[in-house]
A = this chain, B = another copy of it.
Amino acid sequence: MIERVRVAVAGVGNNTSALVQGIALCRQTGSLVGVRRAVIDGLGVGDIDFVAAFATSEEKIGKDLTEAIFMAPNNFPRLDCDLPRADVSVTKGLVDATEVDRVAAALAGAEVLLYSAPSGRPETARAYAEAACKAGVAFVNTTSDAIARDPMWAERFQVAGLPLLGDDLASQFGTSVVHNALLRLLEERGLTLVSSYQVNVGGTEDFRNLVENSNTKKQSKLNALSATDKVELAPLGYLRHLKSQKVAHLNIEAQGWGETAISLDVKLKVHDPSGAAGVNIDLIRMAASALRAGRGGCLPEASSLLKSPPGTAI
């Protein structure tokens, strides 16, 4: 029987809530709904144990992980399953390099550190990567801050024989995935794109942060689209009542034979944290499997799950 993966999480937000609850659901019911790969190198969805958790919110610190995931501003729903206590007390996270040793000590026994804090805190990201290195655990960077695509870090993990996966999670099923698929379809069928837009609204704390930094995000999303100047993005909108849901309205205006009009209107509604957890479950298993096999550095097999894998611009 396979040994369970021992995972530490840095960040106890909605994405961690979805991950922790989804694993519990799978263990209880055997459900593989929404799971991309049932087994990766022998590791099932339920073969994950949480052994440490770090957060910065005073309220969450000291709570069991399975309680902390429901505390504000988290708003991912409570799934319909039993959730046994994790017996993991949330610990004070770090912000910069001054406390790396404390965190590294707390990582003893872990195999993978899932770094799942908000994007845009590069110093914090580097401090956790440092702690992972010191503690000898694999590192998964789900944020857009540059770690795996920074050659210095890639080499450090390579030398240390520790897997490094990142950067920036590609959601399992988000707006760009659908928008791109439809734009590609148009092109394959020989239609001519006239104009297209994408409007995204959502209710998570992450979304609220993005709205405040929307110019950056908007540009990054345009990069993600097979972007021409025919595709426009409206500013992101934070709508409190959507909670952990995101809604996208897409429009595509095109022309077919004889320059006749073709239009496509799409409404997409998803739970953002589910889209993240559905990818994290794969990254964690890839990281653990590589660690156990003694493979250090960046993992090519993870690239398709990431927006900015090694080799992309920092």
Q: Measuring CB to CB, which residues of chain A are less than 8 angstroms from any residue of chain B? A: 18, 21-22, 25, 31, 33-37, 77, 79-80, 172-173, 177-178, 181-182, 185-186, 189-192, 194-195, 197, 199, 201, 211, 230, 232, 234-235, 237, 239-242, 247, 249, 251, 254-271, 274-275, 277-278, 281
Contact = CB atoms under 8 A, between A and B. Distances in A.
B190 A278 contact: yes
Contacts of A240: 232
Contacts of A189: 36, 172-173, 177
A224 to B, nearest CB: 15
Contacts of A256: 33-34, 172-173, 270-271, 274-275, 278
A17 to B, nearest CB: 9
Count copies of this chain in the complex: 4
Contact of A257 (B172, B235, B266): B172
A33 B260 CA distance: 9
A254 B262 CA distance: 19
A272 B251 CA distance: 19
A257 B234 contact: no
A211 B262 CA distance: 23
B265 A265 contact: yes
A251 B249 CA distance: 11
Q: Quick one: which of A172, A191, A254, A260 has the most chain B CB within 10 A?
A: A260
A234 to B, nearest CB: 3
25 contacts: A18-B258, A21-B258, A34-B255, A35-B257, A79-B259, A172-B190, A172-B257, A173-B189, A173-B256, A177-B189, A194-B241, A197-B241, A197-B242, A199-B199, A211-B235, A257-B274, A257-B275, A257-B281, A258-B274, A260-B270, A260-B271, A260-B274, A261-B271, A263-B269, A264-B269
B241 A257 contact: no
B199 A201 contact: yes
Contacts of A33: 192, 255-256, 259
Given A181-B181, A182-B181, A232-B240, A190 B34 contact: yes
Contacts of A201: 197, 199, 234
B262 A264 contact: no
Q: Quick one: which of A25, A33, A80, A185 has the most chain B CB within 10 A?
A: A33
